[in-house]
Amino acid sequence: MNAPHLPKVAGIDSTVPPPAHTAPPVQPAQGAPATPGAQGAPGALIQDRLAGWVSDLTTLHELNERLSRTAALDGALNELLRAGAALVGARRGLVVLEPADGLGPTTTVGLGLARADLGHLETVPRAATSFGRLLDATAGATPGAPQSVPDAGAPAAAPVTEIVQPDLLADEALDPRHREVAVRLGYAASYALPLLTDTAGRVGAVVWLYDEPAEPAERQRHLIGRYLQYATEHLARLVDLDRARSTTATLRAELLPPRLPRVAGVQLAARHSTGPRGGGDWFDALPLPDAALGLAVGSVTGSGPSAVAAMGRLRASLRAYAVMEGEDPVAVLSDLELLLRLTEPARSATALFAFCEPALRKIVLAGAGHSPPLIVGERRTEFVETSLSAPLGMLACWEAPSVDIRPEPGETLLLYTDGLLQRTGDAMDRAFARLHAAAASVPKAARDDPGEIADHVLRTVLPEGLDGPAAAASEEDVVLLAARFE
């Protein structure tokens, strides 16, 4: 084939066609002496074939291992394109993720194609592209049932296996817009395959592009077919996982305040990040009668949808109790503890509730197994001395004394969940020290904005950020609520 030369990958040189069968040994003429080594030709042929099979199996095993280590859709799609390009001898390609059930996610990822290149390809009519024809042919496909591709050169009932266009520019039936884009991007041939599974049906389609007229050899087609059998199943699992995470994240976002209230005398800012599995950390800011304000943070044990649902129920209950008796934080948490113990006896939670009167710069707060808040100002940065108490749901009867705080003008109260400390990876005493140092180092110019204070603290405590590599490796949520009193 005339594809550009690629480096050899795991024993396969994609530009070299499969070795030709060894010709049968020539029989010497009658009476002529036997040629040395002629009798060994059949054995050499078998050895060559075995060596080729071993090389192919080794290659597929290594490529499948690399793909199995991808835990996100983008990484898996990029690995699929790179491995497939090496197997079919192409330099560029794209994969279109479009599950047949229409539930998403949908995306297009390119190999060797910039965003502008993908934009040009999107201007080609869908029916004129090989991947578009594959996707339309398998739309609503019943898992395991063969489908047909509307290809002029194929029988009407041909099963979906591949679409080969070995010389695009020589094809008189090629769509004019497709021809224009092919010339602009500099590709002359393509090889497309559907991504189908027996259980999920269609997942998408993948296309590899050649710079010159070319097509994969029979051996290469066999290898890429075997590779896609595993790759498509892996993608289908990641699609299900992505949907579950998206559903949990959406549910959690709907259960948290969509915006913070405006209350005279206080400025509010909140930052939060959900762990990979979705946890039960939450925050709230609730306007109360007589220009008061209720602030709360908490955490429910566990992770996943059940923890998120429990968090929503707990937060809604706390809002109701805060409206009825918010001026007494101990009573609010006592009611919450009783509700949790009666309705969810197998679950525990921590919580901190603060009743604020901004006009008087007065705060009354109580905590149940929760980390103490921080007061940050020009003249002090200190943890609030809250009483030690058990988490909600741990004792037959919960009660702890409240604490009164009188913030000075310009001081900020920081409420947070334990996830902020645990994501540091340090022991708790060192994590508390890091948090204190971060709050104390807030620049003077940033102290007038609670959002800038929260961002500085997070950048200092978590140098990799809320969504960095440490976040992906941690199961902990992070919540930080800042209230600056004027």
Q: How does pLDDT run across 429-438, given as a tens digit for each residue?
A: 999 999 999 9
Per-residue confidence band for 404, with pLDDT thresholds at 50, 70 and 90: very high
Beta strands 403-405 and 412-416 are unpaired
> pLDDT value at position 459?
93
Q: Which range, of 291-305, 336-350, 429-443, 459-473, averages the lowest pLDDT? A: 459-473
Q: Whose CA is closest to 350, among 418, 286, 285?
A: 418
Spell out the domain ranges in the chain: 55-247, 257-485
pLDDT value at residue 437? 96
Query: Residue 177 is inside which H or E element, if any?
Result: helix 176-185
Which of 4-8, 419-423, 424-428 shows the lowest per-residue confidence on average (mean pLDDT)? 4-8
CA atoms within 13 A on the CB side of 260: 20
Looking at every residue in the chain, the average pLDDT score rounds to 84
Question: What is the rounded CA–CA span in Å between residue 190 and residue 314?
Answer: 56
Does the pLDDT value for residue 256 go beyond 50?
Answer: yes
* Cα separation, 306 vs 209, whole angstroms: 46
Rounded Cα distance between 470 and 43, Å, is 56
Confidence label for 342 from pLDDT (cuts 50, 70 and 90): confident
Provide the pLDDT for residue 397: 65
Q: Calculate the alpha carbon distances from 252 to 110, 162, 283 in Å.
A: 32, 42, 11
The pLDDT of 202-216, averaged and rounded, is: 95
Cis peptide before 401 (omega within 30 of 0): no
* Look-up of token digits 């805060």: 322
Give residue 261's pLDDT: 93
Instruction: Using a pLDDT cut of 70, give the percent of the chain over it.
Output: 83
Phi, psi of 157 (to 5 degrees): -105, 25
Stronger pLDDT, 7 or 233, i.e. the higher one: 233
Residue owning tokens 């971060």: 438
> What pLDDT score does 40 carry?
53
Assign 307 a pLDDT band (cuts: 50, 70, 90): confident
Three-state secondary-structure class, residue 356: strand
For residue 421, the surrounding DSSP H or E stretch is: helix 418-422
pLDDT at residue 4 is higher than 70: no
CATH architecture of 55-247: 2-Layer Sandwich (3.30)
- Which region, left, alpha or beta, applies to residue 431 given φ > 0 means left and ψ of -120 to 50 means alpha? alpha
Domain 257-485, CATH class in plain words: alpha beta
**Helices 218-255 and 41-68 meet at what angle, rounded to 10?**
10
Strand, helix or coil for residue 472: helix
Report pLDDT for 20: 38
- Between helix 73-88 and helix 218-255 the angle, nearest 10°, is 170
Contact 271, 457 (CB under 8 A): no
Identify whether the C-beta of residue 83 lies closer than 8 Å to the C-beta of residue 63. yes
DSSP string, 213-260: S----HHHHHHHHHHHHHHHHHHHHHHHHHHHHHHHHHHHHHHS-SSP
pLDDT at 2: 47
Question: Degrees (nearest 5) of the Cα angle 107, 108, 109?
Answer: 120
Q: According to the model, what pLDDT value does residue 147 have? A: 41
pLDDT in tens, 445-460: 999 999 999 999 999 9
pLDDT beyond 60 at 262: yes
* Rg (alpha carbons) of the chain, rounded to whole number: 32
pLDDT at 28 over 60: no
pLDDT (average), residues 76-91: 95
**Among all chains, which residue has been given the structure tokens 């991504």?**
195
Among 161, 167, 134, which residue's Cα sits nearest to residue 224? 161
Whether the pLDDT of residue 48 is over 80: the answer is no
- The Cα–Cα gap between 83 and 88 comes to 9
pTM reported for the whole predicted model:
0.64
- Report which of 252, 329, 250, 323 is spatially closest to residue 289, judged by C-alpha positions: 323
| Cβ–Cβ under 8 Å, residues 121 and 158 | no
Instruction: Decide: helix, strand or coil at residue 329.
Output: helix
